[in-house]
Amino acid sequence: MSRIPELYASMCFNDQVMKERLPEDVYRSLKKTMEQGKSLNKEIADVVANAMKEWAIEKGATHYTHWFQPMTGITAEKHDSFISPTGDGKIIMEFSGKELIKGEPDASSFPNGGLRATFEARGYTAWDPTSYAFIKDDSLCIPTAFCSYTGEALDKKTPLLRSMEAISNEAIRILKLFGKEEKRVLATVGAEQEYFLIDKKYYDLRKDLIYAGRTLFGAKPPKGQEMDDHYYGTIKPRVSEYMKELDLELWKLGIPAKTKHNEAAPAQHELAPVFTTSNISTDQNQLTMEVMKKVAEKHDLVCLLHEKPFDGVNGSGKHNNWSISTMSGMNLLEPGDSPQDNAQFLLFLAAVIKAVDEHQDLLRISIASAGNDHRLGANEAPPAIVSMFLGEELTGILESIISGEEYVGKADAQMEIGVHALPKFPKDSTDRNRTSPFAFTGNKFEFRMVGASESIACANYILNTIVAEELNQFANHLEKAEDFKKELNRLIKKTFKEHKRIIFNGNNYSDEWVLEAERRGLLNLRKTPDALKLFTDEKNIALFAKHNIFNQNEILSRQEIQYENYVKVINIEALTMSDMIRKDILPAAGVYEKDLINIIKGKKEISDKIPVTYELNTLERLSSLTDALFAKVEKLDKLVIALKNTNGAEEKAFFSSTVLVPFMEETRKIADEIEVNVSAKYWPFPTYGELLYGV
């Protein structure tokens, strides 16, 4: 495998390629743009575009596309070829700076939550020069942000870029107070991605997987994940072949795929890359999900990224590892070696603690989706309650800071801010709690509530913004302080004391925690609409405005889009469920019933003495179950109509979460009971056993 270093990033127009291919002054100018987040001038853009085109053509590319992340959740691309007719029947391959910097896709078919009605239908995409261009399917893909002509964000990338700016600005101010001059501070992210792999031949026979991405039915197989024998288990040959090709494809794109292993549920796996700045990480994660699906098809597999493809076994999430660092790579969440660094660390830590406590709602909103609702609080993922894990050691230190008493712990020292250095927190002492939604893991935080199929952009623009807000408040306060050290001490102590309630080191999956959290006054926003409703609270509108993330219109439109999206998902699931019950499940049960009737009749014809207990009992049971299921499907169809007749996205969303979803769960139970009683020969879909153990 000596060719990996050459292969790596061969399809990515990264720093090294730019250095090689751009005139030195252009390279420097572009670098400056990237480092300072400034816009690119036209002359420079022309040179960069030309170099990019030459490079792309050498790699076989014929088209270019502005690659962006609209609110649909997937990435969008419209491909234009490089060809430009010369008038004599020939063509040349062209790509200008203008085409690189700005594109104009028709914005009208993307969800915009009402922004289109008030503003122009057309939007534009603008190159984000801090994320590298790459080649995919013979197209040069240029990572871009997508805005309306009046500048409103129509995508997930724009708020992320804005939030990176906000956190950078505020962190710079804090660092300055500690005597450090920095031009830019970066939010960093490493997103661990969970997924399921199933055999395509089974997938093709399941309408629920095809339409809804998850199973809407399925009786539990005799074996689930109770043996804990899949997590880190030996990887099956077919899966291993898939993983190898996946790594190769990702490496070519410059995505540093690092770790792969089996996850807790059968057929579930994980991939983790090496972290990078949050916008690049977001792009890379989007791309990773796409490549995962594509490579799977080549192996006659299907990669499921849904948060809850199967009932009864773990769903899939994404662990969003987050930190902030300086351009030179100093991690600001790394406890320092010196008392000075220690104080700085504690201040950043205080900011994160305060941010998470004050903005529990926003963190919950940032990961809210129909799919993720099945996961959160289902004893396999953190509950819908946001809290923080700091580990005993760090919590002990905070306690001693709050009380002013001696810290008796491994560190064996009285913790005084700015006087004592913090002990190092080895990873194994900070990472034992796997149930926390937001865990400190030694030098970063791991936000574990993100759903597997979601873009990590939302989680990260929220994280960046809420922490930027606290840093802003701290900087405002400390910049005015006459005695910096004294004020710093007071501020850290006060913050820890006031926001202690958000820290919970215990088992987040337990029922006691739900009660305890309620006592502490923490939010428990169980379903997506409960969370979304708070998006437009005054507090949030003011926060986003202050940091130039969103204006009020943009928030309203996002809320609307998320409500609509939620409703659409539930609606599709309801329709699919109805279809499968009427066209497949009830008829299959009927065929089996007919068999039973024939057997009973046949036996009776021969002799009254032949027992027919099994046939009769099963027939009776199936008949009542099919009747019950029929009643449910009749009602389900009525509920779908009622949903359609409900006015307003918010009302529709609440109708879905409070009426439809629970009703579908009841309906499913009956269908699964039927599956248990019908001959395997007649069951119209592959079973859970086949799906989960069939590869």
74: left (phi over 0), alpha (psi -120 to 50) or beta: beta
Which one, 456 or 569, has the nearer CB to ligand ADP? 456
Best CA proximity match to 688, nearest among 226, 221, 222: 221
Beta strands in 327-465 (DSSP E): 438-440, 445-451
521: left (phi over 0), alpha (psi -120 to 50) or beta: left
| 541 to 560: interface string for Mg ion, x by CB under 5 A | --------------------
| 392 to 431: interface string for ligand ADP, x by CB under 6 A | ---------------------------------------x
Closest distance of CB 449 from Mg ion, Å: 13
Closest distance of CB 334 from ligand ADP, Å: 8
Closest distance of CB 282 from Mg ion, Å: 17
List all residues 6 or more positions away from 117 whose beta carbon is below 8 Å from its beta carbon.
none
Which range in 243-251, 314-322, 330-338, 656-664 contacts Mg ion by CB under 5 A?
314-322
Best CA proximity match to 543, nearest among 351, 362, 367: 362
- Asked if 384 contacts 514 with a C-beta cutoff of 8 angstroms, the reply is no
For the chain, how many residues are written?
695
Q: Which residue is nearest to ligand ADP (CB)?
A: 190
Which position among 131, 321, 387, 460 is part of the footprint of ligand ADP (CB under 6 A)? 321
How many angstroms separate the CA atoms of 134 and 17, rounded?
Answer: 11
Which one, 277 or 551, has the nearer CB to ligand ADP? 277
| 328 to 367: interface string for ligand ADP, x by CB under 6 A | ---x------------------------------------
Which range in 43-51, 184-192, 509-517, 546-554 contacts ligand ADP by CB under 6 A?
184-192
623 binds ligand ADP (CB under 6 A): no
Which position among 76, 239, 272, 450 is part of the footprint of ligand ADP (CB under 6 A)? 272
319 binds Mg ion (CB under 5 A): yes
As given in the structure block, the two tokens for residue 684 are 């119209």
Which range in 282-290, 320-328, 456-464, 505-513 contacts ligand ADP by CB under 6 A?
320-328
Interior angle at CA 329, CA 323 and CA 335, nearest 5: 55
List all residues 6 or more positions away from 652 whose beta carbon is below 8 Å from its beta carbon.
563, 564, 567, 643, 646
Closest distance of CB 276 from ligand ADP, Å: 8
How many angstroms separate the CA atoms of 130 and 276, rounded?
Answer: 12
How many angstroms separate the CA atoms of 58 and 551, rounded?
Answer: 43
- Please give the biggest Cα pair distance in the chain: 104
- Asked if 281 contacts 275 with a C-beta cutoff of 8 angstroms, the reply is yes
Which position among 182, 192, 373, 380 is part of the footprint of ligand ADP (CB under 6 A)? 192
Which range in 171-179, 289-297, 311-319, 534-542 contacts Mg ion by CB under 5 A?
311-319
List all residues 6 or more positions away from 204 whose beta carbon is below 8 Å from its beta carbon.
210
444 binds Mg ion (CB under 5 A): no
List all residues 6 or more positions away from 494 whose beta carbon is below 8 Å from its beta carbon.
none
How many angstroms separate the CA atoms of 272 and 555, rounded?
Answer: 32
How many angstroms separate the CA atoms of 161 and 385, rounded?
Answer: 27
Which one, 65 or 320, has the nearer CB to Mg ion? 320
Which range in 253-261, 317-325, 526-534, 627-635 contacts Mg ion by CB under 5 A?
317-325
Closest distance of CB 672 from ligand ADP, Å: 34
On the 0-12 / 13-18 / 19+ scale of CB atoms within 10 A, 426 is exposed
On the 0-12 / 13-18 / 19+ scale of CB atoms within 10 A, 69 is buried
In Å, how far are 109, 110, 147, 317, 515 from 123, measured between CA atoms? 11, 10, 5, 32, 47
- Asked if 99 contacts 246 with a C-beta cutoff of 8 angstroms, the reply is no
Pairing mode, strands 63-67 and 139-148: parallel
Which one, 322 or 655, has the nearer CB to Mg ion? 322
Which one, 259 or 403, has the nearer CB to Mg ion? 259
3-class SS at 141? strand
375 binds Mg ion (CB under 5 A): no
Which range in 8-16, 155-163, 318-326, 662-670 contacts Mg ion by CB under 5 A?
318-326
Which position among 214, 444, 448, 632 is part of the footprint of ligand ADP (CB under 6 A)? 444
230 binds, among ligand ADP, Mg ion, none (CB under 5 to 8 A by kind): none
Closest distance of CB 193 from ligand ADP, Å: 10
113 binds ligand ADP (CB under 6 A): no
190 binds ligand ADP (CB under 6 A): yes
Which one, 65 or 436, has the nearer CB to ligand ADP? 436
331 binds, among ligand ADP, Mg ion, none (CB under 5 to 8 A by kind): ligand ADP
Closest distance of CB 571 from Mg ion, Å: 34
Which one, 113 or 391, has the nearer CB to ligand ADP? 391
List all residues 6 or more positions away from 64 whose beta carbon is below 8 Å from its beta carbon.
53, 56, 79, 80, 82, 95, 99, 139, 140, 141, 142
Which range in 272-280, 340-348, 463-471, 649-657 contacts ligand ADP by CB under 6 A?
272-280
Closest distance of CB 435 from Mg ion, Å: 12
Closest distance of CB 367 from ligand ADP, Å: 17
Closest distance of CB 311 from ligand ADP, Å: 26
Binding residue count for Mg ion, defined by CB under 5 A: 1
275 binds ligand ADP (CB under 6 A): yes
Which position among 97, 143, 266, 273 is part of the footprint of ligand ADP (CB under 6 A)? 273
263 binds ligand ADP (CB under 6 A): no
Best CA proximity match to 565, nearest among 107, 228, 204, 111: 111
189 binds ligand ADP (CB under 6 A): yes
Closest distance of CB 627 from ligand ADP, Å: 49
How many angstroms separate the CA atoms of 246 and 223, rounded?
Answer: 29
Which one, 69 or 188, has the nearer CB to Mg ion? 188
Contacts with Mg ion by CB under 5 A lie at: 319
Contacts with ligand ADP by CB under 6 A lie at: 188-190, 192, 259, 272-275, 319, 321-323, 331, 431, 443-444
